[in-house]
Amino acid sequence: MLSIGDCTLQTLDVQEFSLDGGSVFGAVPKVLWEKVIRPDHLNRVRLSMRLLLVRGQGRNILVDAAMGTAWNDKMKQIYDLSEWRLDRELQKAGLRRGDITDIIFTHLHFDHLAGAFEEENGELVPVFPHARYYVQQDNLQTALHPNLKEKPSYLSPFVEALSRLDGLAPVKGGTELIPGLELVPAGKGHTEGHQLVRITGSGKTLVHGGDLFPSSAHLGVTRGLTYDIAPLEVVGEKIVLLDEMVDKRVILYFAHDPLITAATLKRGEKHVVVDDILDF
Ligand SMILES: [Zn+2]
Protein backbone atom coordinates (compact mmCIF):
# COMPACT_ATOMS: atom_id res chain seq x y z
CA MET A 1 0.00 0.00 0.00
CA LEU A 2 1.19 3.51 -0.80
CA SER A 3 -0.12 6.66 0.88
CA ILE A 4 -0.24 9.94 -1.02
CA GLY A 5 -1.90 12.78 0.87
CA ASP A 6 -5.28 11.52 2.08
CA CYS A 7 -5.36 8.72 -0.51
CA THR A 8 -4.13 5.15 -0.19
CA LEU A 9 -3.13 3.34 -3.36
CA GLN A 10 -3.06 -0.38 -4.07
CA THR A 11 -2.64 -2.55 -7.12
CA LEU A 12 -5.18 -5.16 -8.17
CA ASP A 13 -3.24 -7.80 -10.09
CA VAL A 14 -6.29 -9.02 -12.01
CA GLN A 15 -5.23 -10.35 -15.42
CA GLU A 16 -2.56 -10.79 -18.10
CA PHE A 17 -2.67 -11.02 -21.89
CA SER A 18 -0.19 -11.35 -24.73
CA LEU A 19 0.39 -9.04 -27.67
CA ASP A 20 2.65 -9.36 -30.68
CA GLY A 21 6.09 -8.09 -29.62
CA GLY A 22 6.50 -6.04 -32.78
CA SER A 23 3.24 -4.21 -32.09
CA VAL A 24 4.22 -3.43 -28.53
CA PHE A 25 7.64 -2.04 -29.43
CA GLY A 26 6.89 -0.28 -32.72
CA ALA A 27 10.06 0.33 -34.70
CA VAL A 28 12.45 -1.06 -32.09
CA PRO A 29 14.37 -4.08 -33.50
CA LYS A 30 13.57 -7.40 -31.85
CA VAL A 31 17.21 -7.98 -30.88
CA LEU A 32 16.80 -5.01 -28.55
CA TRP A 33 13.30 -5.48 -27.13
CA GLU A 34 13.60 -9.24 -26.55
CA LYS A 35 16.22 -8.47 -23.89
CA VAL A 36 13.67 -6.38 -22.01
CA ILE A 37 10.58 -8.62 -22.29
CA ARG A 38 11.10 -12.22 -23.46
CA PRO A 39 8.70 -13.24 -26.26
CA ASP A 40 6.94 -16.63 -26.41
CA HIS A 41 7.30 -19.05 -29.37
CA LEU A 42 4.72 -16.98 -31.32
CA ASN A 43 6.72 -13.79 -30.78
CA ARG A 44 4.17 -12.48 -28.29
CA VAL A 45 5.03 -10.65 -25.08
CA ARG A 46 3.17 -11.26 -21.84
CA LEU A 47 1.72 -8.08 -20.39
CA SER A 48 -0.04 -7.25 -17.16
CA MET A 49 -3.37 -5.43 -17.00
CA ARG A 50 -3.00 -4.28 -13.40
CA LEU A 51 -5.62 -1.95 -11.98
CA LEU A 52 -4.78 0.97 -9.74
CA LEU A 53 -7.11 1.22 -6.74
CA VAL A 54 -7.26 4.63 -5.05
CA ARG A 55 -9.11 5.00 -1.75
CA GLY A 56 -9.90 8.36 -0.21
CA GLN A 57 -12.82 10.62 0.82
CA GLY A 58 -14.96 7.49 1.27
CA ARG A 59 -14.47 6.56 -2.39
CA ASN A 60 -12.98 3.40 -3.89
CA ILE A 61 -11.73 4.41 -7.33
CA LEU A 62 -10.34 2.09 -9.99
CA VAL A 63 -8.26 3.20 -12.94
CA ASP A 64 -9.25 1.07 -15.96
CA ALA A 65 -10.88 -2.37 -15.94
CA ALA A 66 -8.65 -4.79 -17.95
CA MET A 67 -10.30 -7.34 -20.32
CA GLY A 68 -12.47 -9.41 -18.00
CA THR A 69 -14.36 -12.52 -19.06
CA ALA A 70 -16.77 -11.65 -21.89
CA TRP A 71 -14.60 -13.18 -24.63
CA ASN A 72 -15.07 -16.09 -26.99
CA ASP A 73 -12.51 -18.91 -27.26
CA LYS A 74 -10.95 -17.48 -30.42
CA MET A 75 -10.18 -14.12 -28.79
CA LYS A 76 -8.98 -15.81 -25.57
CA GLN A 77 -6.56 -17.79 -27.68
CA ILE A 78 -5.33 -14.85 -29.77
CA TYR A 79 -4.55 -12.85 -26.64
CA ASP A 80 -3.66 -15.88 -24.48
CA LEU A 81 -5.98 -14.31 -21.92
CA SER A 82 -5.37 -15.33 -18.30
CA GLU A 83 -7.99 -16.07 -15.67
CA TRP A 84 -9.82 -13.09 -14.14
CA ARG A 85 -8.79 -12.63 -10.52
CA LEU A 86 -10.95 -9.59 -9.76
CA ASP A 87 -12.90 -10.96 -6.79
CA ARG A 88 -9.80 -12.44 -5.16
CA GLU A 89 -7.88 -9.17 -5.57
CA LEU A 90 -10.79 -7.09 -4.27
CA GLN A 91 -11.11 -9.43 -1.31
CA LYS A 92 -7.43 -8.91 -0.46
CA ALA A 93 -8.22 -5.20 -0.30
CA GLY A 94 -11.27 -5.90 1.90
CA LEU A 95 -13.69 -4.89 -0.84
CA ARG A 96 -16.44 -6.31 -3.02
CA ARG A 97 -17.59 -5.31 -6.50
CA GLY A 98 -20.40 -3.18 -5.07
CA ASP A 99 -17.91 -1.11 -3.05
CA ILE A 100 -16.27 0.37 -6.16
CA THR A 101 -17.64 3.90 -6.43
CA ASP A 102 -15.81 5.21 -9.50
CA ILE A 103 -13.97 3.92 -12.55
CA ILE A 104 -11.67 6.17 -14.51
CA PHE A 105 -10.95 4.98 -18.03
CA THR A 106 -7.67 6.26 -19.47
CA HIS A 107 -9.37 5.41 -22.78
CA LEU A 108 -11.81 2.82 -24.10
CA HIS A 109 -9.54 0.40 -25.99
CA PHE A 110 -10.83 -3.05 -25.09
CA ASP A 111 -7.97 -3.98 -22.74
CA HIS A 112 -8.95 -1.02 -20.54
CA LEU A 113 -12.75 -1.16 -20.85
CA ALA A 114 -14.08 -4.69 -21.34
CA GLY A 115 -13.50 -5.90 -17.75
CA ALA A 116 -16.18 -3.47 -16.57
CA PHE A 117 -18.71 -5.86 -18.14
CA GLU A 118 -19.55 -9.54 -18.01
CA GLU A 119 -21.91 -11.65 -20.03
CA GLU A 120 -25.22 -12.67 -18.52
CA ASN A 121 -27.77 -14.47 -20.73
CA GLY A 122 -26.09 -13.11 -23.85
CA GLU A 123 -26.10 -9.50 -22.59
CA LEU A 124 -23.23 -7.37 -21.33
CA VAL A 125 -23.99 -6.27 -17.78
CA PRO A 126 -21.86 -4.08 -15.48
CA VAL A 127 -19.44 -5.83 -13.14
CA PHE A 128 -19.49 -2.89 -10.69
CA PRO A 129 -23.16 -2.21 -9.92
CA HIS A 130 -22.70 1.14 -8.13
CA ALA A 131 -19.87 2.76 -10.07
CA ARG A 132 -19.72 6.05 -11.92
CA TYR A 133 -17.57 5.97 -15.06
CA TYR A 134 -15.28 8.75 -16.21
CA VAL A 135 -13.85 9.05 -19.70
CA GLN A 136 -12.90 12.07 -21.78
CA GLN A 137 -15.80 13.14 -23.99
CA ASP A 138 -13.47 13.12 -27.02
CA ASN A 139 -12.50 9.53 -26.30
CA LEU A 140 -16.10 8.42 -25.94
CA GLN A 141 -16.90 10.02 -29.31
CA THR A 142 -14.00 8.35 -31.10
CA ALA A 143 -14.86 5.03 -29.46
CA LEU A 144 -18.48 5.30 -30.63
CA HIS A 145 -17.36 6.27 -34.16
CA PRO A 146 -13.89 4.77 -34.52
CA ASN A 147 -11.54 5.37 -37.42
CA LEU A 148 -10.62 2.27 -39.45
CA LYS A 149 -7.24 1.84 -37.75
CA GLU A 150 -8.76 1.74 -34.27
CA LYS A 151 -11.93 -0.17 -35.06
CA PRO A 152 -10.46 -3.47 -33.82
CA SER A 153 -9.48 -1.77 -30.51
CA TYR A 154 -12.78 0.02 -29.82
CA LEU A 155 -15.07 -2.98 -29.76
CA SER A 156 -18.61 -1.74 -30.25
CA PRO A 157 -20.48 -4.17 -27.95
CA PHE A 158 -18.47 -2.90 -24.94
CA VAL A 159 -18.48 0.77 -25.97
CA GLU A 160 -22.23 0.68 -26.56
CA ALA A 161 -22.84 -1.12 -23.26
CA LEU A 162 -20.93 1.68 -21.52
CA SER A 163 -22.79 4.41 -23.39
CA ARG A 164 -26.10 3.01 -22.07
CA LEU A 165 -25.10 3.17 -18.39
CA ASP A 166 -26.69 5.79 -16.11
CA GLY A 167 -23.40 6.13 -14.26
CA LEU A 168 -21.47 7.30 -17.31
CA ALA A 169 -20.03 10.76 -16.67
CA PRO A 170 -17.97 11.99 -19.64
CA VAL A 171 -15.53 14.79 -18.77
CA LYS A 172 -14.01 17.54 -20.84
CA GLY A 173 -10.37 18.39 -20.15
CA GLY A 174 -8.52 18.29 -16.84
CA THR A 175 -10.63 17.90 -13.72
CA GLU A 176 -10.21 17.08 -10.05
CA LEU A 177 -12.30 14.06 -9.08
CA ILE A 178 -11.53 14.19 -5.37
CA PRO A 179 -9.00 16.49 -3.64
CA GLY A 180 -5.56 15.42 -4.84
CA LEU A 181 -6.77 13.19 -7.70
CA GLU A 182 -6.86 14.74 -11.16
CA LEU A 183 -7.72 13.50 -14.61
CA VAL A 184 -5.05 14.80 -16.97
CA PRO A 185 -5.63 14.94 -20.75
CA ALA A 186 -2.65 13.29 -22.43
CA GLY A 187 -2.95 14.59 -25.99
CA LYS A 188 -4.09 12.61 -29.01
CA GLY A 189 -0.97 10.67 -29.96
CA HIS A 190 -2.09 7.28 -28.66
CA THR A 191 -5.76 7.96 -29.30
CA GLU A 192 -8.20 10.87 -29.29
CA GLY A 193 -9.11 11.89 -25.72
CA HIS A 194 -6.50 9.75 -23.97
CA GLN A 195 -6.09 10.74 -20.31
CA LEU A 196 -3.72 9.99 -17.45
CA VAL A 197 -4.42 10.15 -13.72
CA ARG A 198 -2.33 12.20 -11.28
CA ILE A 199 -2.48 11.76 -7.50
CA THR A 200 -0.72 14.40 -5.42
CA GLY A 201 -0.31 15.08 -1.70
CA SER A 202 2.14 15.20 1.22
CA GLY A 203 5.02 16.06 -1.14
CA LYS A 204 4.46 13.00 -3.35
CA THR A 205 3.00 12.58 -6.83
CA LEU A 206 2.06 9.46 -8.77
CA VAL A 207 1.05 9.48 -12.43
CA HIS A 208 -0.78 6.57 -14.08
CA GLY A 209 0.99 6.35 -17.44
CA GLY A 210 -1.97 5.01 -19.45
CA ASP A 211 -0.83 3.77 -22.86
CA LEU A 212 1.68 6.60 -23.21
CA PHE A 213 3.90 4.73 -20.76
CA PRO A 214 2.43 1.20 -20.78
CA SER A 215 5.68 -0.29 -19.44
CA SER A 216 9.11 0.75 -18.26
CA ALA A 217 10.40 -0.34 -21.68
CA HIS A 218 8.47 2.58 -23.18
CA LEU A 219 10.37 5.36 -21.42
CA GLY A 220 12.42 6.06 -24.56
CA VAL A 221 10.47 8.81 -26.31
CA THR A 222 10.48 7.01 -29.69
CA ARG A 223 9.44 3.66 -28.17
CA GLY A 224 5.77 3.81 -29.07
CA LEU A 225 3.03 1.26 -29.66
CA THR A 226 2.04 0.35 -33.21
CA TYR A 227 -1.50 1.16 -32.05
CA ASP A 228 -0.62 4.87 -31.58
CA ILE A 229 -2.54 6.97 -34.10
CA ALA A 230 0.03 9.81 -34.22
CA PRO A 231 3.51 8.53 -33.28
CA LEU A 232 5.20 11.92 -33.60
CA GLU A 233 2.69 13.46 -31.20
CA VAL A 234 3.43 10.66 -28.72
CA VAL A 235 7.11 11.67 -28.86
CA GLY A 236 6.24 15.28 -27.98
CA GLU A 237 3.82 14.27 -25.23
CA LYS A 238 6.43 12.00 -23.66
CA ILE A 239 9.20 14.63 -23.73
CA VAL A 240 7.07 17.14 -21.80
CA LEU A 241 5.86 14.61 -19.23
CA LEU A 242 9.24 12.93 -18.69
CA ASP A 243 10.97 16.26 -18.02
CA GLU A 244 8.41 17.09 -15.36
CA MET A 245 8.44 13.60 -13.85
CA VAL A 246 12.23 13.39 -13.54
CA ASP A 247 12.55 16.89 -12.08
CA LYS A 248 9.76 16.41 -9.54
CA ARG A 249 10.61 12.79 -8.58
CA VAL A 250 7.16 11.68 -9.72
CA ILE A 251 6.26 7.98 -9.35
CA LEU A 252 5.16 6.61 -12.73
CA TYR A 253 2.65 3.72 -12.70
CA PHE A 254 2.98 1.12 -15.49
CA ALA A 255 -0.31 -0.74 -16.03
CA HIS A 256 1.05 -3.19 -18.64
CA ASP A 257 4.60 -3.83 -17.39
CA PRO A 258 5.04 -7.55 -16.66
CA LEU A 259 7.44 -6.91 -13.77
CA ILE A 260 7.56 -3.30 -12.60
CA THR A 261 4.45 -1.75 -11.06
CA ALA A 262 5.79 1.75 -10.58
CA ALA A 263 9.04 3.65 -10.37
CA THR A 264 10.70 7.01 -10.00
CA LEU A 265 12.78 8.09 -12.99
CA LYS A 266 16.23 9.48 -13.74
CA ARG A 267 18.07 10.62 -16.84
CA GLY A 268 20.16 7.81 -18.32
CA GLU A 269 22.82 7.91 -21.04
CA LYS A 270 20.38 7.77 -23.96
CA HIS A 271 17.00 8.35 -22.41
CA VAL A 272 15.08 8.47 -19.15
CA VAL A 273 15.28 5.23 -17.19
CA VAL A 274 13.83 3.66 -14.05
CA ASP A 275 15.40 4.80 -10.78
CA ASP A 276 13.73 3.40 -7.63
CA ILE A 277 11.18 0.63 -8.17
CA LEU A 278 8.02 0.59 -6.04
CA ASP A 279 5.69 -2.35 -5.59
CA PHE A 280 2.37 -1.84 -3.85
ZN1 LIG B 1 -4.66 1.78 -25.82
Q: How far is the CA of 180 from the centre of ligand 1 (A)?
A: 25
Q: How far is the CA of 64 from the centre of ligand 1 (A)?
A: 11
* Cβ contacts of 195 within 8 Å, gap of 6 or more: 104, 106, 107, 135, 136, 139, 183, 184, 185, 186, 210
pLDDT, one tens digit for every residue, the chain (280 residues): 999 999 999 999 999 999 999 899 887 888 888 888 889 999 999 999 999 999 999 999 999 999 999 999 999 999 999 999 999 999 999 999 999 999 999 999 999 999 999 999 999 999 999 999 999 999 999 999 999 999 999 999 999 999 999 999 999 999 999 999 999 999 999 999 999 999 999 999 999 999 999 999 999 999 999 999 999 999 999 999 999 999 999 999 999 999 999 999 999 998 999 999 999 9
Q: How far is the CA of 135 from the centre of ligand 1 (A)?
A: 13
Q: How far is the CA of 106 from the centre of ligand 1 (A)?
A: 8
Contact between 94 and 101 under an 8 Å Cβ cutoff? The reply is no
Task: Return the SS3 of 188.
Answer: coil
Strands, E assignment, 79-171: 102-104, 117-120, 123-126, 132-136, 168-171
User: Which of 20, 17, 115, 29 is closest to 67 using CA atoms?
Assistant: 115
Per-residue model confidence as pLDDT tens digits over 37-89: 889 999 999 999 999 999 999 999 999 999 999 999 999 999 999 999 999 99
Q: How far is the CA of 211 from the centre of ligand 1 (A)?
A: 5
Q: How far is the CA of 274 from the centre of ligand 1 (A)?
A: 22
Q: How far is the CA of 117 from the centre of ligand 1 (A)?
A: 18
Contact between 81 and 75 under an 8 Å Cβ cutoff? The reply is yes
Q: How far is the CA of 194 from the centre of ligand 1 (A)?
A: 8
User: Which of 213, 23, 190 is closest to 108 using CA atoms?
Assistant: 190
Q: How far is the CA of 8 from the centre of ligand 1 (A)?
A: 26
* Whether pTM exceeds 0.75: yes
Q: How far is the CA of 133 from the centre of ligand 1 (A)?
A: 17
Q: How far is the CA of 202 from the centre of ligand 1 (A)?
A: 31
Q: Which CATH number does 2-278 carry? A: 3.60.15.10
Per-residue model confidence as pLDDT tens digits over 111-133: 999 999 999 999 999 999 999 99
* Cβ contacts of 66 within 8 Å, gap of 6 or more: 14, 15, 49, 51, 84, 111, 112, 114, 115
* Cβ contacts of 39 within 8 Å, gap of 6 or more: 21, 30, 45
- Looking at residue 74, its pLDDT comes to 97
